[in-house]
Amino acid sequence: MSPADKTVRQYITLPPKLAAQVRTLAKTHRLTLNRILVELIERGIESEQRKNRQDFFELAKSFRKATDSAEAKGLGDKLGRMVFGS
Protein backbone atom coordinates (compact mmCIF):
# COMPACT_ATOMS: atom_id res chain seq x y z
CA MET A 1 0.00 0.00 0.00
CA SER A 2 1.52 3.32 -1.06
CA PRO A 3 1.50 6.26 1.36
CA ALA A 4 -1.21 7.95 -0.74
CA ASP A 5 -3.49 4.91 -0.33
CA LYS A 6 -3.26 4.70 3.45
CA THR A 7 -6.33 5.61 5.41
CA VAL A 8 -6.30 8.27 8.09
CA ARG A 9 -8.25 7.85 11.29
CA GLN A 10 -10.29 10.93 12.17
CA TYR A 11 -12.41 11.43 15.24
CA ILE A 12 -15.52 13.56 14.96
CA THR A 13 -18.25 14.58 17.33
CA LEU A 14 -21.77 14.82 15.95
CA PRO A 15 -24.81 16.42 17.50
CA PRO A 16 -27.26 13.72 18.66
CA LYS A 17 -29.87 14.51 16.01
CA LEU A 18 -27.32 14.33 13.19
CA ALA A 19 -25.81 11.12 14.60
CA ALA A 20 -29.27 9.52 14.59
CA GLN A 21 -29.78 10.56 10.96
CA VAL A 22 -26.42 9.05 9.99
CA ARG A 23 -27.28 5.79 11.78
CA THR A 24 -30.63 5.67 9.99
CA LEU A 25 -28.98 6.25 6.61
CA ALA A 26 -26.43 3.53 7.31
CA LYS A 27 -29.15 1.04 8.19
CA THR A 28 -31.29 2.02 5.20
CA HIS A 29 -28.38 1.58 2.78
CA ARG A 30 -27.01 -1.44 4.66
CA LEU A 31 -23.63 0.20 5.14
CA THR A 32 -21.38 0.67 8.13
CA LEU A 33 -21.36 4.02 9.88
CA ASN A 34 -17.84 4.60 8.60
CA ARG A 35 -18.79 3.86 4.97
CA ILE A 36 -21.88 6.10 5.03
CA LEU A 37 -19.85 8.95 6.56
CA VAL A 38 -17.22 8.59 3.83
CA GLU A 39 -19.91 8.64 1.14
CA LEU A 40 -21.63 11.67 2.66
CA ILE A 41 -18.33 13.56 2.89
CA GLU A 42 -17.44 12.67 -0.72
CA ARG A 43 -20.85 13.88 -1.92
CA GLY A 44 -20.48 17.10 0.07
CA ILE A 45 -17.07 17.79 -1.44
CA GLU A 46 -18.36 17.09 -4.97
CA SER A 47 -21.34 19.38 -4.35
CA GLU A 48 -19.09 22.18 -3.10
CA GLN A 49 -16.83 21.83 -6.14
CA ARG A 50 -19.84 21.97 -8.49
CA LYS A 51 -21.10 25.08 -6.71
CA ASN A 52 -17.70 26.76 -6.99
CA ARG A 53 -17.48 25.96 -10.72
CA GLN A 54 -21.00 27.30 -11.26
CA ASP A 55 -20.19 30.50 -9.33
CA PHE A 56 -17.02 30.94 -11.41
CA PHE A 57 -18.82 30.57 -14.73
CA GLU A 58 -21.60 32.94 -13.68
CA LEU A 59 -19.00 35.53 -12.66
CA ALA A 60 -17.09 35.02 -15.92
CA LYS A 61 -20.32 35.52 -17.87
CA SER A 62 -21.02 38.76 -15.98
CA PHE A 63 -17.44 39.87 -16.63
CA ARG A 64 -17.81 39.27 -20.39
CA LYS A 65 -21.11 41.18 -20.47
CA ALA A 66 -19.86 44.15 -18.42
CA THR A 67 -19.85 47.40 -20.38
CA ASP A 68 -18.70 49.76 -17.64
CA SER A 69 -14.91 49.67 -17.19
CA ALA A 70 -15.14 50.10 -13.40
CA GLU A 71 -17.59 47.21 -13.17
CA ALA A 72 -15.40 45.08 -15.46
CA LYS A 73 -12.34 45.84 -13.32
CA GLY A 74 -14.21 44.87 -10.13
CA LEU A 75 -15.46 41.64 -11.69
CA GLY A 76 -11.99 40.92 -13.07
CA ASP A 77 -10.48 41.40 -9.62
CA LYS A 78 -13.09 39.07 -8.16
CA LEU A 79 -12.33 36.45 -10.82
CA GLY A 80 -8.63 36.77 -10.03
CA ARG A 81 -9.27 36.16 -6.34
CA MET A 82 -11.36 33.08 -7.20
CA VAL A 83 -8.60 31.65 -9.38
CA PHE A 84 -5.49 32.68 -7.48
CA GLY A 85 -6.81 33.22 -3.97
CA SER A 86 -6.86 36.42 -1.97
Helical segments of the chain, H only = 16-29, 33-65, 69-84
What are the φ and ψ backbone dihedral angles of 31, each rounded to 5 degrees?
A: -125, 160
The residue ranges of the chain whose pLDDT is under 50 are none
Q: What is the pLDDT of residue 47?
A: 95
pLDDT in tens, 23-39: 999 999 999 999 999 99
Q: What is the pLDDT of residue 81?
A: 87
Domain boundaries, the chain: 15-84
Burial of 10 (0-12, 13-18, 19+ CB in 10 A): exposed
Q: What is the pLDDT of residue 15?
A: 97
